[in-house]
Amino acid sequence: MTEPTYRVAFVCLGNICRSPMAEVVVRDLLADAGLGGRVTVFSRGTGDYHEGEDAHARTLEVLRARGHAPRHAARQIRRDELASTDLVLALDRMNERDLRKLARTDAERAKVRLFRSFDPAAPRHDVEIPDPWGKPLDAFEHVYDLCAAAGRGLVAWLEAEALPAWSAALGRG
Ligand code: 4NP
């Protein structure tokens, strides 16, 4: 029997620029931390504009330049996925609002958080990862740097807090 994994979704608007970047960066950070088998990461969009498409060419370019091997097909988030996901990380406040509207219960709404809030260096008034769509490569490089910083904070929190609590609740602690 395969062990259950803690499930983390990254959600932006189109699921071609920011959330695929976050997904790949965090998956590789988890693997480096030896947690790849305990956490499943995936990404979605609140919109369906790019359903089935690969990530944006500049997202792919930045990820490859930084040593990652992205594979992607864009998908819109479905309401029922909120129930089967442990943590739903919005890239900006509009994504956060849209996800909270999609949620059916308080428990589902409580799963929705801003990804950048896991970056201990993020200013309290600036916890978004800005949309780089239509912008030049340096905007995508900036998104990468923000995802890497938030991802390091996220992995530290998963390791120290979320995974031990989740395992204990499953009776595996
Ligand atoms: P993303 O960027 O939400 O980071 O994937 C966008 C991609 C596409 C669109 C908007 C934002 N669009 O309007 O098609």
Chain segment 55-68, per-residue pLDDT in tens: 999 999 999 999 99
Q: What pLDDT, on a 0 to 100 scale, did the predictor assign at position 173? A: 54
| Ligand 1 neighbours by CB, cut-off 6 Å | 12-18, 49, 131, 133
C-alpha to C-alpha distance for 88 and 121, rounded to whole angstroms: 21
Say which DSSP state 108 is in: H
Query: Which helix (H) or strand (E) covers residue 32, if one does?
Result: helix 18-32
Atom from ligand 1 closest to the CA of residue 20: 5
Q: How confident is the model at residue 171 (pLDDT cuts 50, 70, 90)?
A: confident
Cβ proximity of 137 and 64 under 8 Å: no
Q: What pLDDT, on a 0 to 100 scale, did the predictor assign at position 172? A: 65
C-alpha to C-alpha distance for 74 and 44, rounded to whole angstroms: 7
What value does the mean pLDDT take over residues 1-9?
A: 88
Say which DSSP state 71 is in: -
pLDDT in tens, 98-111: 999 999 999 999 99
pLDDT tops 70 at residue 1 = no
Q: What pLDDT, on a 0 to 100 scale, did the predictor assign at position 2? A: 73
Determine whether 58 is an active site residue. no
Cβ proximity of 40 and 68 under 8 Å: no
